[in-house]
Chain A
Amino acid sequence: MILRRLAPAVQPLLSVAGAFVVAGVVVWACGGSPLEALSALLQGSCGSSTGLLRTLSKATPLLLSGLAVAVALRAGLFNIGAEGQLILGALAAAWAGHAFTGLPAWVHIPICLAAGVVVGAVWAAIPGALRAWRGSHEVIVTIMLNYLAIQLAHFLVNGAMKDPVSMAPATSMVEPSARLWAAADGSNFSAGFGLALLAAVGVAVLLRHTALGFEIRAVGLGADAARVAGVNVGRTMISAMAISGGLAGLAGAIEVLGVHRRYLDAFSPGYGFDSIAVALLGGGNPVGVTLSSLLFGGLSAGATHMEAWTHVPRQIAGIVQGVVIFSAGARYLKGRRR
């Protein structure tokens, strides 16, 4: 029984292990020491309290946007647009963070988070609706909406929404009442990680214990059977995309309120794209997504440390990531063909 419950974790663990082996071979072939590199990587990501917090802070946006991709995936939809939803969510949160003043934190923070969620949800509901009503493939539409979101944010933050006193393309700083609690040790760890964990629990409850989650899974695994049984497939797809976009928007809002304290142009190093790998490696389920976001967060946090201490370039971590994405993607496609 226990073995059967663990069975789905076997392949992802193997692909992660394989990825480390491949990266180790590359390090060795370039004349470095794989073991030294690995120990530096581990030291940097979980060898100290600052390292550990840095891992958690890097994992936060990956966890949230990974959940976003996972929810859509469970409905049979591939949301490639988490990046765009995250960016617009961040922008909305930054705006709400400085536009409202004189509010207590317990009112202001929820307003900002809600702004991010709503904007992300609306942005993702567009491809959902186009898919449901017009049959336009969500992959194409979300990719195009990413460009729109990135350029729109770039335009706004260099113009109408730009902080007049700053040189950088960024909005004004958010009010202190809109800032999430953050550690002062330079790890960028904030209360946002707790919110992300709560979101993971929420997604787990949604998928397992609610009628909407049941419909989402039914549409993802058997849209025809769901339709015949009376499920409104189109509406379910739109709901799934909106929830997905809301989570990605929340990721952006938390980055603004917890880390940058404002919207900074091009602040995202591609969280929305990495989140696709996080979701696939996590098998689309909240526990798996949480674990894989910690892995990716740890890789990202440890890579800098590794580079500084062993002269092994940080891009080696990218190789690990790449191999994991490759095998997780292959597994996903294989599952779909069946």
Chain B
Amino acid sequence: MQSITKRYPGGVVANDAVSLTVLPGTAHAVVGENGAGKSTLMGVLYGSIRPDSGSIEVSGSPVTLRRPADAIRHGIGLVTQHTTMIPALTALDNVLLGFEPSRLGVLDRRMGRNRVEELSAQAGIEVDWGASADALSVAALQKAEIVKALYRGARVLILDEPTATLAPAEADRLFAVVHGVVASGASVLFITHKLREVLDHSDHVTVLRGGAKAGDRVTAETCADELVSLMLGSDRSVAHSVEATPEASRRSELALQVSSLTVRGRGGRPAVHSADLSVRAGEVLGVAGVDGSGQRELAEAVVGLRSAVSGSVTLCGEDVTARSVASRAAAGLAYVPEDRHREGLILDFDLSENLLLGRHRDASAGGGRFLQRRRVLADAARLLTEGGVVSAGATAPASSLSGGNQQKVVVARALARRPRALVAMQPTRGLDVGASAAVYDAIRARTAAGMGVLLFSLDLDELREVSDRIAVMYNGRIAGVLDRDDAAMDQLGKLMTEGRP
């Protein structure tokens, strides 16, 4: 792949002139934080995303990939995080589907089965081919997906975060398969953010950061520390300097306290284990951690979107564990969700309606059983001005705004009730420098008045700039809490990836 560039509408550059070379018979890892552009790059390679510029060569000849079928024809196979198998069909039929071997138009299952078994033996895969797909475990399905890609003639296999849903032992077995595939002469390109997997199982590694390539390394010649600094960009100049809260406005009373909170995640697996955190009034407590360490579940449990198995959430001395989202919000707990398009805004609503959402029972916002349209509009106009939102007015649809302005709307709404505590999930994700600064300015104006902030971010530089203290999550636990001045990059990195200083 040469100089792949992909811009999304709104100016987000997902890939900026990224080049990548995968040698035959090697395992090549692509690492980077969320939003670094890994998935976009893989989408381009699989033909599901069209790049704005750049070229792709397979075995030395340039190819144009307009759709996944083109990629399959050129020997590129993709195994996604989620299975694409049809539950009611057997694993074998799923593999054959679309490329059925036939004799005189009649499906020849035996021929297919022989080929599939031959391929799986080569890669060292054992799957019960006769079982229906819904009877197979996640790990088995993944192996079947790998065979499916090989069966379709893949010479380059892309695995998108293959171990995200696997237990450690299963992950080890999966990598044994990867080695088997590589030994047979094919190449494997896998996306991950687990450094251990990179170091143990890849030959080459490409690190992406902020859409650009941060570095290419031969795995044997690098180490975890170097990869961390490439991923997190510790050498990056401070893009927007935001002061931490001055000591004077920090107070001793607690704005938000989380005590031995245990939360289950998707599929009922424990995602947060007895987490303890306390945010003082006027303080920003950052939460760092590798993506998927339980941040989302913790945040959702704090604001009431997810119920806690045990433990408590206390807002300004008041136990709110049993309360609903709306009741916590009314008590002064605000939330800036991670996904502003899906969870933050209703894109088909206009700005005044989006700003009203959640406050639509507040008379002060023009809400109540009957809405006071004039008041709603006036309130919205005020919030838009105060929040510095560039828009065509309060009746413009939310979808017409740029990403940065959309986020300003989400933040303006969260702060409109003058909350006593704020939970923010990556509030500047995907925003440019100016918009990020505006978001933090708005938040800081409230912390000066005593609001406590629990700030989740994957960007360590950002956390170090804006937080007073930084907690690190590892595997659903709070691995440590560091003061901003003590939080050196390598120490944070170690806590994040190993769970101990």
Tell me whether B346 and A211 are in contact (CB under 8 A): no
Residues in chain A near residue B358, CB distance under 8 A: 229-231
Residues in chain A near residue B325, CB distance under 8 A: 227-230
Nearest B residue (CB) for A222: B346
- B348 contacts A by Cβ under 8 Å: yes
Tell me, rounded to whole Å, the shortest Cβ–Cβ distance linking A100 to chain B.
Answer: 32
Q: How far is the CA of A211 from the CA of B337 in the complex (A)?
A: 23
Tell me, rounded to whole Å, the shortest Cβ–Cβ distance linking A332 to chain B.
Answer: 14
What per-residue 1/0 map shows which CB atoms of B343-358 lie under 8 Å from chain A? Answer: 1111111000100111
Tell me whether A221 and B349 are in contact (CB under 8 A): yes
Q: How far is the CA of A325 from the CA of B185 in the complex (A)?
A: 57
Q: How far is the CA of A232 from the CA of B361 in the complex (A)?
A: 13
Residues in chain A near residue B151, CB distance under 8 A: none
Tell me whether B343 and A231 are in contact (CB under 8 A): no
Q: How far is the CA of A209 from the CA of B349 in the complex (A)?
A: 15
- A136 contacts B by Cβ under 8 Å: no
B371 contact from A210, A218, A226, Cβ within 8 A: A210
Q: B358-396: which have CB < 8 Å to A? A: 358, 360-361, 367-371, 373
What per-residue 1/0 map shows which CB atoms of B295-328 lie under 8 Å from chain A? Answer: 0000000000100000000000000000011101
- A225 contacts B by Cβ under 8 Å: yes
Residues in chain A near residue B335, CB distance under 8 A: 228
Tell me whether B326 and A211 are in contact (CB under 8 A): no
Residues in chain B near residue A231, CB distance under 8 A: 326, 357-358
- B329 contacts A by Cβ under 8 Å: yes
Residues in chain B near residue A210, CB distance under 8 A: 369-371
Q: How far is the CA of A231 from the CA of B370 in the complex (A)?
A: 16
Query: By CB atoms of chain B within 10 A, which of A211, A222, A229 has the most?
Result: A229
- A224 contacts B by Cβ under 8 Å: yes
Tell me whether A232 and B326 are in contact (CB under 8 A): yes
Contacts A228-B335, A228-B343, A230-B326: A221 and B348 contacting too (C-beta < 8 A)?
yes
- B342 contacts A by Cβ under 8 Å: yes
A225 contact from B356, B357, B361, Cβ within 8 A: B357
Residues in chain B near residue A222, CB distance under 8 A: 342, 345-349
Query: By CB atoms of chain B within 10 A, which of A210, A214, A227 has the most?
Result: A214
Q: A196-242: which have CB < 8 Å to B? A: 209-212, 214-215, 217-218, 221-222, 224-232
B324 contact from A214, A218, A225, A230, Cβ within 8 A: A230
Q: How far is the CA of A227 from the CA of B358 in the complex (A)?
A: 9
Tell me whether B360 and A215 are in contact (CB under 8 A): yes
Tell me whether B368 and A211 are in contact (CB under 8 A): yes
A226 contact from B346, B367, B373, Cβ within 8 A: B346
Nearest A residue (CB) for B304: A230
Nearest B residue (CB) for A211: B360
Per DSSP, are chain B's interface residues mostly helix, strand or loop, or mixed? loop
Query: By CB atoms of chain B within 10 A, which of A212, A214, A227, A228 has the most?
Result: A228
Query: Number of contact residues on B: which range applies?
Result: 20 to 34
Residues in chain B near residue A209, CB distance under 8 A: 370-371, 373
Tell me whether B371 and A214 are in contact (CB under 8 A): yes
Q: How far is the CA of A224 from the CA of B325 in the complex (A)?
A: 13
A211 contact from B324, B347, B361, B373, Cβ within 8 A: B361
Nearest A residue (CB) for B357: A229
Residues in chain B near residue A214, CB distance under 8 A: 353, 356-357, 360, 371
Nearest A residue (CB) for B328: A230
Tell me, rounded to whole Å, the shortest Cβ–Cβ distance linking B390 to chain A.
Answer: 21
Residues in chain A near residue B360, CB distance under 8 A: 211, 214-215
Tell me, rounded to whole Å, the shortest Cβ–Cβ distance linking A67 to chain B.
Answer: 20
Residues in chain A near residue B324, CB distance under 8 A: 230, 232
Residues in chain A near residue B337, CB distance under 8 A: 228
Contacts A214-B371, A218-B357: A224 and B343 contacting too (C-beta < 8 A)?
yes
Q: How far is the CA of A227 from the CA of B306 in the complex (A)?
A: 11
Tell me whether B342 and A225 are in contact (CB under 8 A): yes
Q: How far is the CA of A232 from the CA of B342 in the complex (A)?
A: 17
Residues in chain A near residue B353, CB distance under 8 A: 214, 218
Q: How far is the CA of A218 from the CA of B371 in the complex (A)?
A: 14
Q: How far is the CA of A51 from the CA of B208 in the complex (A)?
A: 72
Q: How far is the CA of A164 from the CA of B95 in the complex (A)?
A: 66
Query: By CB atoms of chain B within 10 A, which of A217, A222, A227 has the most?
Result: A222
Tell me whether A221 and B346 are in contact (CB under 8 A): yes
Q: A134-172: which have CB < 8 Å to B? A: none
Q: How far is the CA of A89 from the CA of B357 in the complex (A)?
A: 34
Nearest A residue (CB) for B372: A209
Nearest A residue (CB) for B303: A228
Tell me whether B305 and A228 are in contact (CB under 8 A): yes
Q: How far is the CA of A214 from the CA of B353 in the complex (A)?
A: 8
Q: How far is the CA of A209 from the CA of B324 in the complex (A)?
A: 25
B369 contact from A211, A221, A230, Cβ within 8 A: A211
Tell me whether B361 and A228 are in contact (CB under 8 A): no
Query: By CB atoms of chain A within 10 A, which of B305, B358, B373 has the most?
Result: B358
Residues in chain A near residue B347, CB distance under 8 A: 221-222
B346 contact from A225, A230, A232, Cβ within 8 A: A225
Residues in chain A near residue B361, CB distance under 8 A: 211
Q: How far is the CA of A229 from the CA of B325 in the complex (A)?
A: 7
Q: How far is the CA of A205 from the CA of B335 in the complex (A)?
A: 31
Q: How far is the CA of A226 from the CA of B359 in the complex (A)?
A: 11
Tell me whether B344 and A225 are in contact (CB under 8 A): yes
Q: How far is the CA of A244 from the CA of B344 in the complex (A)?
A: 28
B357 contact from A212, A226, A232, Cβ within 8 A: A226
Tell me, rounded to whole Å, the shortest Cβ–Cβ distance linking B137 to chain A.
Answer: 24
A218 contact from B328, B329, B344, B349, Cβ within 8 A: B349
Tell me whether B329 and A230 are in contact (CB under 8 A): yes
Q: How far is the CA of A210 from the CA of B335 in the complex (A)?
A: 25
Tell me whether B348 and A225 are in contact (CB under 8 A): no
Q: How far is the CA of A266 from the CA of B399 in the complex (A)?
A: 47
Tell me, rounded to whole Å, the shortest Cβ–Cβ distance linking A108 to chain B.
Answer: 30
Nearest B residue (CB) for A230: B326
Q: How far is the CA of A232 from the CA of B326 in the complex (A)?
A: 8
Tell me, rounded to whole Å, the shortest Cβ–Cβ distance linking A285 to chain B.
Answer: 13
Contacts A215-B360, A232-B326: A227 and B305 contacting too (C-beta < 8 A)?
yes
Query: By CB atoms of chain A within 10 A, which of B329, B339, B346, B368 has the most?
Result: B346
Nearest A residue (CB) for B347: A222
Nearest B residue (CB) for A205: B370
Residues in chain B near residue A227, CB distance under 8 A: 305, 325
Q: How far is the CA of A229 from the CA of B357 in the complex (A)?
A: 6
Residues in chain A near residue B342, CB distance under 8 A: 222, 224-225
Residues in chain B near residue A224, CB distance under 8 A: 339, 342-343
Tell me, rounded to whole Å, the shortest Cβ–Cβ distance linking B313 to chain A.
Answer: 15
Tell me, rounded to whole Å, the shortest Cβ–Cβ distance linking A234 to chain B.
Answer: 12
Q: How far is the CA of A229 from the CA of B343 in the complex (A)?
A: 8
Query: By CB atoms of chain B within 10 A, which of A210, A224, A227 has the most?
Result: A224
4 cross-chain pairs, A with B, having the tightest CB-CB distances, nearest first = A230-B326, A229-B358, A222-B346, A230-B325
Return 21 A-B CB contacts under 8 Å, by A number. Answer: A209-B370, A210-B371, A211-B360, A211-B371, A214-B353, A214-B356, A221-B346, A222-B348, A222-B349, A224-B339, A224-B343, A225-B342, A225-B345, A228-B305, A228-B335, A229-B325, A229-B357, A229-B358, A230-B326, A230-B328, A232-B326
Given contacts A215-B360, A228-B335, 14 further A-B pairs with CB under 8 A are A211-B369, A218-B346, A218-B357, A221-B347, A221-B349, A222-B345, A222-B347, A222-B349, A226-B357, A229-B357, A230-B326, A230-B328, A231-B326, A232-B324
